[in-house]
Amino acid sequence: MPFHDPWLHKGQDSPLERERRLYAHTRNPIHVWRALQICSEQRDEDRSAVLPAWIVDYLDTFTGVIQEWFNERDGDDTGLADHLTAALGFKPAGRGVRDTAFAAWDQAHRDEHLVIEIRRQSRAQPEVSKADIMADLAERLQVSESTLWRAWRARRVFFE
pLDDT score of 94: 57
In a domain, 113, yes or no: yes
- The helix, strand and coil proportions of the chain, stated in percent and rounded to the nearest 5, come to 70, 0, 30
CA distance 88 to 100: 11
Residue 84 shares a structural domain with residue 117: no
Calculate helix-pair angle for 15-26, 30-45, nearest 10 degrees: 160
> What is the percent of the chain with per-residue pLDDT over 90, rounded to a whole number?
22
Residue 82 shares a structural domain with residue 117: no
Last residue of a domain, one of 46, 65, 88: 88
In a domain, 95, yes or no: no
**What residues in the chain have per-residue pLDDT under 50?**
none
35 three-class SS: helix
What predicted TM-score, i.e. pTM, was given to this entire model?
0.61
Residue 13 shares a structural domain with residue 78: yes
In a domain, 94, yes or no: no
Residue 10 shares a structural domain with residue 84: yes
Residue 76 shares a structural domain with residue 138: no
Residue 63 shares a structural domain with residue 134: no
pLDDT score of 136: 93
Residue 63 shares a structural domain with residue 127: no
In a domain, 73, yes or no: yes
Total domains in the chain come to: 2
Last residue of a domain, one of 63, 88, 113: 88
Q: In terms of residue numbers, what domain contains 146?
A: 101-159
In a domain, 1, yes or no: no
pLDDT score of 159: 59
87-118 residue pLDDT tens: 777 766 555 556 676 777 778 788 888 988 99
Q: Are 87 and 80 in contact (CB under 8 A)?
A: no
Residue 146 shares a structural domain with residue 81: no
